[in-house]
Chains A and B, each alone.
Chain A
Amino acid sequence: MKACYLIAFAQSHSDFRLPELQSISEIHGFQIHLPKDPDTSRPFMVVELDEEEHAFILAQRCILIKSIYEFYARGTTYEEVHEMNRSNRHLWERYVPDTSFKFIVTGFNHTIPQRRQRDVIESFAYMDFRGKIDMKNPEITMVCFEEYESRPAPANGPPRKRCEDDGGFKEVFFGRLIVEGTARQLVGVFDVKKRAYFGNTSMEAEISLLMANQTLASPGKWIYDPFMGTGSMAYPTAHFGAVVFGSDIDGRQMRGKGKPPGVIRAATQYGIASRIIDLCTFDVTNNPWRCGELFDAIVTDPPYGVRAGAKRLGRKRELSEDKKALYLQHSQNPRSDDQPYIPPTKPYELSNLAGDLVLLARYLLRPGGRLVFFLPTVTDEYQEVDIHTMMCEGMEVIANSLQDFGSWGRRLITIRKIATQKFSPPSFQHVEEDAMDTHVPAHRDFREKYFQGFSRGQCNGDQAGTVST
């Protein structure tokens, strides 16, 4: 039955909330009817769902959902709340005669003094619930949220008390608890520090999980990470049932020290080793894929040069003839991966890389498949058009969520392949273009900008300019 539900979000990554809801409903083939102008910066949202079961599905899979309630009322004053709650009597009437219950009054960004909590509960007395109050195992839990604006401590003053300005809420929400989010615990399960193998490029668990959800990972799907590194996104993606293929120009990133390779050790820890289809060492700009339309999604954190520089096979300048002869000789002595031939690499400019990645995805994805990746960008210089400079025919941006680090940020971009025709693989050739009349995106030369200006003292600098397998 169609009804309204109140979603309480976890207090992080607000820009990722809507895309996640939409992805999970798409995986399970149902609709979420959103409010007209959803304000995702707020921790509460009232949505319409066709079935209560959909609330359970969302709570099981959305990393950013704390809990979901059957929605009864909201208002900027308690008069408004009670008026609406009375008019929704048909929704809670059945709990009046004899259902045990618990009633919680709680503040967001605020602590409500005990006394006033009691006053608020009293004000709902007209609901006249006859069942017994049970704080341990109630049949139903009613929750009343007061939402306060976040009020950060003044620059040099003492921190604000959490109970200051009591009653000065922005809005009140009221409903009955249906389900607590269970997916958030995965953030602990996939904690990088507890992982059998990780490195300095590993992506934090919460973001990796959000990325996995953006891929629509589920059983029967095949998902590719062309900049696999230590495999952070592969684990949650495989956990959700998909199988994964990973490649990287630098085999050491996937292997680590010891046997079996690090990525396999971590996958074993999570019980999903058999879902890592294969790992392979190659430069994605010189890749051995025989054909396209293979994958349901590509999920990746491209090397943007801060911790693991973008590079590709080749040299900035051409080699002399005798050097070439030397390499020829060298390569005719095949070596195993342990004493690798270390090919030279040249830098790979981020805006070229982003454009190439979209073209590659268009080639390698099945129709309807998704490309999910991060694009770092300088916050002040970012413009919406930056995304469009890397787009091509047949691909469509469906989500763009900012993770804000202050002077820089990164955007999680989700792109869908809307075209159904076949495309040829990208050439990865770049002419040294002069940017006279084309728009220069803010992520152009991101690495240089990072080291020039807005370093936050956290980076380890670039890694060596060579790669090995």
Chain B
Amino acid sequence: MVRLVTHNLLACHAKDCNTNNFPLVFQNVQLEIREAEFNSDFIRNFLPKIEWNALVKTAYELGDTSLPQDQPEMVDDEFLKNLHHVLFEIHIIEGGMVCPNCKHNYPISDGIPNMLLAEHEIA
């Protein structure tokens, strides 16, 4: 797991790491594609929450180039389908997510990322 929808919503939260702490950078990842139910209302509702640049950049890094660089103003079906695929069907099973700022590595195993902080990292 770790779908890109999740990745798009999580930032490094180590103490004093407040700038350039998003998006986390995937490292040594093992991917899997799994089909998910398409719900266009859900995606439309969710669209305003997405950090578009982070999503496109991350999708490119993982080899998916179906999304346009700029978020389109007109939302059509094909766009929603591509977005659905990127957000919900790409799963990162193993690997890590590294903070671009403080370099904290959040390891992923069996699809579950460990976002626990060490003691000195708690605000």
Contact = CB atoms under 8 A, between A and B. Distances in A.
Contact of B114 (A251, A275, A294): A251
Given A288-B13, A290-B22, A280 B115 contact: yes
A209 B2 CA distance: 27
B9 A289 contact: yes
A331 B120 contact: yes
Interface stretch (A45-53, A63-71, A311-319, A397-405): A311-319
Given A274-B35, A469-B114, A343 B3 contact: no
Q: Which of B12, B34, B51, B109 has the most CB of A within 10 A?
A: B109
Contacts of B114: 251, 281-282, 337, 340, 469
19 contacts: A243-B42, A254-B112, A260-B110, A274-B34, A278-B2, A280-B113, A280-B115, A282-B114, A286-B117, A288-B10, A288-B13, A288-B115, A313-B119, A314-B119, A331-B118, A334-B105, A337-B109, A341-B118, A344-B119
A275 B1 CA distance: 12
Interface centre among A287, A314, A341 (most CB of B within 10 A): A341
A330 interface: yes
A178 interface: no
A132 to B, nearest CB: 48
A94 interface: no
A265 to B, nearest CB: 11
B81 to A, nearest CB: 16
Contacts of B35: 274
A280 B39 contact: no
A275 B37 contact: yes
Nearest to A248: B112
B109 A277 contact: no
Contact of A286 (B2, B22, B122): B122
B116 A220 contact: no
B111 A260 contact: yes
B116 A343 contact: yes
Given A340-B114, A341-B116, A220 B39 contact: yes
Nearest to B115: A282
A343 B118 CA distance: 6
Nearest to B87: A277
Nearest to B48: A293
Contacts of B13: 286-288
Contact of B1 (A279, A294, A340): A279
Contacts of A290: 8-11, 22, 51
B112 A279 contact: yes
Nearest to A254: B112
B36 A274 contact: yes
A245 B3 CA distance: 11
B19 interface: no
A220 B42 contact: yes
Interface of A: 219-220, 222, 243, 245, 249, 251, 254-255, 259-261, 264, 274-283, 286-291, 293-294, 313-315, 319, 324, 327-328, 330-331, 334-338, 340-341, 343-344, 467, 469
The secondary-structure label for the interface of chain A is loop
B105 to A, nearest CB: 4
A286 B105 CA distance: 16
A15 B42 CA distance: 33
B119 A315 contact: yes
Nearest to A314: B122
Contact of B49 (A245, A254, A264, A291): A291
Contacts of A264: 1, 111
Nearest to B105: A334
B107 interface: yes
Contacts of A313: 116-117, 119, 122
B43 to A, nearest CB: 10
Contacts of B41: 220
A297 B1 CA distance: 22
A376 to B, nearest CB: 26
B116 A469 contact: yes
A339 to B, nearest CB: 10
B93 to A, nearest CB: 9
A424 to B, nearest CB: 14
Nearest first, the 3 closest Cβ-Cβ pairs linking A and B are A337-B109, A331-B118, A334-B105
B116 A282 contact: yes
A274 B32 CA distance: 13
